[in-house]
């Protein structure tokens, strides 16, 4: 394991905070420099890994779901009386279904929009 960098003790926004909403916890995922990988292969490169699995559903699709719901809410397209019908979230256990629909469903639930 690599030694910690001098900046690793610096508090970054979002890390270790208590959130009022699951939507607020989306994003602010860490980026880590992979120092050994280029060295092991003789490459002169900087390789960075964005750790999206730190999102609430461990997916970059959390950002998509939250952004769609927030944008529609801010534009006045949806409100607490809106019913969203999101078909992919109905097949949550299906192996072929992606999790973007689940993320839309979760974000909608958090802002108080009814889902079906």
Would you please indicate which residues are annotated as catalytic (active-site) residues?
61
Rounded to 10 deg, the angle between the 100-110 and 61-74 helix axes is: 40
Burial of 12 (0-12, 13-18, 19+ CB in 10 A): exposed
């Amino acid at each position: 394991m690599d030694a910690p960098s001098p900046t690793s003790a610096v508090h970054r926004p979002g890390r270790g905070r208590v959130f009022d909403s699951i939507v607020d916890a989306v994003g602010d995922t860490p980026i880590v420099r992979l120092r050994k990988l280029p060295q092991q292969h003789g490459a002169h490169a900087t390789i960075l890994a964005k750790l999206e699995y730190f999102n609430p559903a461990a997916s970059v699709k959390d950002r998509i779901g939250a952004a769609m719901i927030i944008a529609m809410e801010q534009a006045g397209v949806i409100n607490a009386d809106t019913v969203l019908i999101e078909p992919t979230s109905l097949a949550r256990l299906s192996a072929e279904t992606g999790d973007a629909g689940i993320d839309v469903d979760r974000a909608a639930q958090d802002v108080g929009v009814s889902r079906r």
